[in-house]
A and B are shown apart, each in its own frame.
Chain A
Amino acid sequence: MTALETPPTDAPATPVQVLRTEDRRVGPVVGKAVGYVVMTVAALGLLLPFVWMIISSLKTNNQVFTVPVQWIPDPVVWQNYLDIWTRSDMTTWLGNTLLLSVGVTFLQVFTGSFAAYGFARMRFPGRDLLFLVYIGTIAVPWQSYMIPQFVMLSDFGLANTLWSILLLQAFGAFGVFLMKQYFESIPESLNEAARIDGLSEWGIWRRIMLPLSVPAIASLTLLTFVNTWNDYLGPLIYLRSPELWTVQLGLKTFISQYNAEYALIMTGSVLSVLPIAVIFLLGQRYFVEGIATTGVKG
């Protein structure tokens, strides 16, 4: 932003006003209409695969692929939503996934925001270097160190347990980064006031910083939850026993097992997406706000 040349700002105020009112009369009406049309088309394009998925989950197998596409299922096969529970271990998968998602999210938010306070508000030697190491690992794909990590966790006897996924997802640098960005937008004077009032640093984190960063916490919670819920590679590597499978892993094997039962596969897909959709709709306001804060200062 510093390189930007500032255009003359001392222009008289009135012409701007005039220009604006004129603009408002003619341009924006057409502009708005075009805007809405473009937005609606874009939204339809983005949602179409989901619409198709839901529609197909209510069809019979033969009706999933017809020429031309049958947009309204007839008959509506609700039975798919009952069959899937008996024909797959959906309950186990959903249970495991929920357990992991909640556990990982709790650890990530707790340790992440705790560490972020240290990085954002405390001063001690080595702090900046350490934070740089944290940031650096964001630039390293997990796939590049998943092999040694697997060897280590296997040596600890944690492979093929839910603990492995819990541990490897819970301490990411991303949570620390996101929370630090947000903490730094909170005025430091609040900390000073609290310190003068005799609150300890832990007290400040607990009673001042946490309540003030609800949007960031909510967005970290949602992102972590969603990432854990949707993770495929981690469970693929670590969870060998079927009773430990997550919904993604289960869905994938279900697909290979019933590869011609298109409708049922779509039903499973809907069920794997549904919890996320609900959570997202509940918290989308925070989501949008929280993600925005990660990008601002890069």
Chain B
Amino acid sequence: MATNAVEERELVAAAGAPTPRRRPGSRLKWRNTLIGWSFILPNFVGFTILTLVPVLILFYMSFTNWNVFGVAQWTGVDNYARLVQDGSYHKALLNTLYYAVVHIPLTLAAALGLALLLNRKMRGVAFFRTVAFFPYITSIVAIAVVWNMLFSPEFGPINQFLTALGVDDPPGWTTSATWAMPAVIIVGTWREMGYYMLLLLAGLQTVPAELHEAARMDGASAWQRFLNVTLPCLRPTMFFVTVMLTIGSFKVFDLILVMTNGGPGQSTLVLSQYIWQKGFVENQFGYASAVSVSLFLICIAVTLFQFFWNKKKEA
């Protein structure tokens, strides 16, 4: 970014006023700092109290046995020792990874496919973009209920359709330990792909048309042009989308709570839900904080990894 006008004015002031009056420059700087902070302050106060402070308290709480009424007692690494041995926690962690590992590539591919499809100058394209984005903004509770009914093993339209296609033994979806997670992932992907499609669409529009034209001149096929022109140009957007998608996957909660409530058994129990359950249902705030810290660290670690991976590729 070019030099800020305020700074320029400062320079002018400094230059216009020779040695005896050097003060105004620093006073201006002070003034700028104050004005700058005045803009940020209203948001910053709320942000500090409601986000930064809780994050700091979180780490402290994870070393205590805090529950709702009692006073927090320092218990050192007890909570973490318990995490290591807690089978439910392992299950939740594995399920979260399962969700992420399937949901991220699936959504990315679907979003990219949609974006490529809708990145043309055709009549009605705006309407299709709107349609694709619509699931993302509708209520998760309503969506989860509708899909649960669609997935209903005996009478649901999906299994009716599958039976009509000749599938003899259609899946039990949310009632089956094997199929519950795939069902949730399908709904998650259906809901979110429109959002990421829009982000990718914005990225696609920054790909210079001349590059495509030139590649076409050189006899590159559509697939080659996609690989060698579109994808490299799209990389910054892809990075952003992947990061957002990853964080989104790690915090999946509402969908699971309404669709399966973590079940059947613990087959769809995920970390956010486990935190909620330990904290707000069982009042074990200290232990729930330790689970939260692990979620926190995983997200930061994955984001940093993606960030440096991106940097390395850029170089």
Residues of A whose CB lies within 8 Å of any CB of B are: 1-4, 6-9, 11, 15-16, 19, 32, 35-36, 38-39, 42-43, 46-47, 49-50, 52-53, 56, 64-69, 107, 110-112, 114-115, 117-119, 121-125, 127, 130, 133-134, 137-152, 167-168, 170-173, 175-176, 184, 188, 191-192, 195, 201-202, 205, 226, 229-230, 232-233, 237, 247-248, 251-252, 255, 262, 265-266, 268-270, 272-273, 276-277, 280-281, 284-285, 287-288, 291-298
Contact = CB atoms under 8 A, between A and B. Distances in A.
A38 to B, nearest CB: 6
B61 A298 contact: no
B47 A64 contact: no
Q: Give the 3 A-B CB pairs with smallest separation, nearest first.
A: A118-B39, A171-B46, A122-B36
Contacts of A111: 42-43, 46
Contacts of B213: 16
Interface of B is mostly: helix
Nearest to A169: B50
Interface in B237-272: 237, 239-241, 243, 247, 250-251, 253-254, 257-258, 271-272
B130 A118 contact: no
A19 B43 contact: no
Nearest to A184: B1
A251 B120 CA distance: 40
Contact of A47 (B5, B46, B134, B139): B134
Contacts, number: 325
Contact of B247 (A112, A118, A141, A205): A141
B185 interface: no
17 contacts: A11-B217, A19-B217, A50-B138, A53-B142, A65-B155, A68-B160, A114-B39, A118-B37, A137-B51, A139-B300, A140-B300, A141-B247, A141-B299, A144-B296, A251-B141, A288-B198, A295-B202
Contacts of A39: 117-118, 124-125, 128
Contact of A291 (B39, B138, B195): B195
Given A118-B39, A171-B51, A298-B237, 4 more contacts: A46-B135, A114-B43, A147-B279, A233-B257
A119 to B, nearest CB: 7
Interface stretch (B18-26, B83-91, B173-181, B286-294): B286-294
Contacts of B35: 122, 201
A144 B292 contact: yes
Interface of B: 1-2, 4-7, 9, 29, 32-33, 35-40, 42-44, 46-47, 49-55, 57-58, 61, 66, 114, 117-118, 120, 122, 124-126, 128-135, 137-143, 145-147, 149-150, 152, 155-157, 160, 190, 194-195, 198-203, 205-206, 210-211, 213-218, 232-233, 235-237, 239-241, 243, 247, 250-251, 253-254, 257-258, 271-272, 275-276, 279-280, 285, 288-289, 292-293, 295-296, 299-300, 303, 313-314
> Which of B55, B117, B149, B253 has the most chain A CB atoms inside 10 A of its CB?
B149
Contact of A115 (B40, B55, B141): B40
Contact of A125 (B33, B139, B314): B33
Contacts of A43: 128, 131-132
